[in-house]
Amino acid sequence: NAGVTQTPKFQVLKTGQSMTLQCAQDMNHEYMSWYRQDPGMGLRLIHYSVGAGITDQGEVPNGYNVSRSTTEDFPLRLLSAAPSQTSVYFCASSNGPGYTFGSGTRLTVV
Amino acid sequence: DQQVKQNSPSLSVQEGRISILNCDYTNSMFDYFLWYKKYPAEGPTFLISISSIKDKNEDGRFTVFLNKSAKHLSLHIVPSQPGDSAVYFCAAAETSGSRLTFGEGTQLTVNP
């Protein structure tokens, strides 16, 4: 049982480039979320999904897109990377109440 | 606005003693409260939760207390062990499984 798998673990992007952070879970969880962690700010919700085909914005959605075509996958797309998006990104899934988190993607935008 | 706040960025305790981590919230719609532990270079790990119908929940060395009137919760770790050294995040949700709102985290250091 792999849990929540995030790829890649590390990524360096140039300003203006686009990329997709992958997230997959094998626990048949309905709820999935993307968070970013920045020093002194805890984890902030980027986007959220309550099931396949249903997504919603979180606290800091600007510059990011998501889709949920299957229960298992919830990719996060950076449309045009900016240095302010340098962060550690976590994907999580749940059937309630506690979420299971992936190990994170450390993204640096130069 | 910061709906969940952890006012202590760090806490240091001796091995064997009690660790008390605190968390305050402002949104009265929050119904579930959770604590996560995070080691460096790893994702957060779910520790313990409590729903608003309870004021206490225990799991081994970990106990969470909820004071709804004060909008305050705390995590007690007894006895503290060096392996408990990590960042602890408090989180809240309006319903079970709904989006989580996190506090800023508290770095706990347990000294041998």
Reported as a single tens digit per residue, the pLDDT across B39-68 is 998 999 999 999 999 999 999 999 999 999
CB–CB of B89 and A31 under 8 A? no
Q: What are the structure tokens assigned to B89, written together?
A: 């995040």
Chain A residues with CB inside 8 Å of B107's CB? none
Average pLDDT, integer, range B71-85: 97
Average pLDDT, integer, range B75-98: 93
With CA atoms as reference, the chain A residue closest to B8 would be A40
Q: Is A3 on the interface with B (CB under 8 A)?
A: no
State percent of chain A over pLDDT 90: 91
Chain A residues with CB inside 8 Å of B91's CB? 43
Of B42, B44, B99, the CB nearest to A45: B99
Of A31, A35, A40, the CB nearest to B97: A31
The per-residue pLDDT for B66 is 97
Q: In angstroms, rounded to a whole number, what is the distance separating the alpha carbons of residues B32 and B49?
A: 7
Q: In angstroms, rounded to a whole number, what is the distance separating the alpha carbons of residues B100 and B30?
A: 10
Chain A segment 32-91 residues within 8 A of B by beta carbon are: 33, 35, 40-45, 48, 56, 58-59, 90
CB–CB of B97 and A96 under 8 A? yes
Angle in degrees, CA A96, A98, A101, rounded to 5: 115
- Which residues are within 8 A (CB) of A39 and not within 5 positions of it... i.e. 6 or more apart? none
Would you say residue B1 has pLDDT above 80?
A: no
Work out whether the CA dihedral B66, B67, B69, B70 comes out positive or negative. negative
Q: What is the mean pLDDT of chain B?
A: 95
Please write the tens of the pLDDT for every residue from B12-42. 999 999 999 999 999 999 999 999 999 998 9
pLDDT means per 10 residues, chain A with 110 residues, are 91 97 96 93 93 94 96 96 97 90 97
